[in-house]
Amino acid sequence: MGFTMNVCVVFVLTCLISTSGRVRVGHLNGTTYYVTTVPRPFNLTEANDICKEYGGYLWEADNDAELRFVSTSVNRIYYRDHFYIGANDVENEGTFVYFNSGKPMLPNRWTRNNPSNSGDNEDCVELISYSRAFNDVPCQLDLCFVCEREYY
């Protein structure tokens, strides 16, 4: 019992103080979600490759239950409010698709007055976790991002 407790505490501390890598935020319906912990200039390809190193890919919200779960889980850990996800409209302005699968993005889950393509320069998408909704942003901000991995 004491041993198990200690292992858990050490594990949690390691996650929370880690200066590189990722934090596991939870798992749902066969998928585990991670957030990176060090903001750096974003690049869709490179971020997706980092998720691949973890066995996954940039997060693709498939439905409202998943959006709610990930938002709530991220808020519980509360590392940062804003995280890039896999959605973007780089190829076709106004048509948001997921980077890894190419599937259409979950529709109608934007924050108020978005997507705005402000400055004609907002082709990537962030999760605003406390809003449980998305916002279009430039693709090169210093933000962390969400990865998902099929759980096994």
Ligand X SMILES: *[C@@H]1O[C@H](CO)[C@@H](O)[C@H](O)[C@H]1NC(C)=O
Binding site for ligand X (CB under 6 A): 29-30, 43, 45-46, 62-63, 65-66
Give 23 or 44: the residue with its C-beta nearer to ligand X. Answer: 44
Contact 129, 92 (CB under 8 A): no
Give 60 or 129: the residue with its C-beta nearer to ligand X. Answer: 60
**What distance in Å separates the CA atoms of residue 149 and residue 61, rounded to the nearest whole number?**
12
CB of 121 to ligand X, least distance (A): 12
Give 45 or 113: the residue with its C-beta nearer to ligand X. Answer: 45
CA neighbor of 44 nearest in space, from 106, 91, 81: 91
CB of 15 to ligand X, least distance (A): 25
**What distance in Å separates the CA atoms of residue 130 and residue 71, rounded to the nearest whole number?**
7
CB of 79 to ligand X, least distance (A): 24
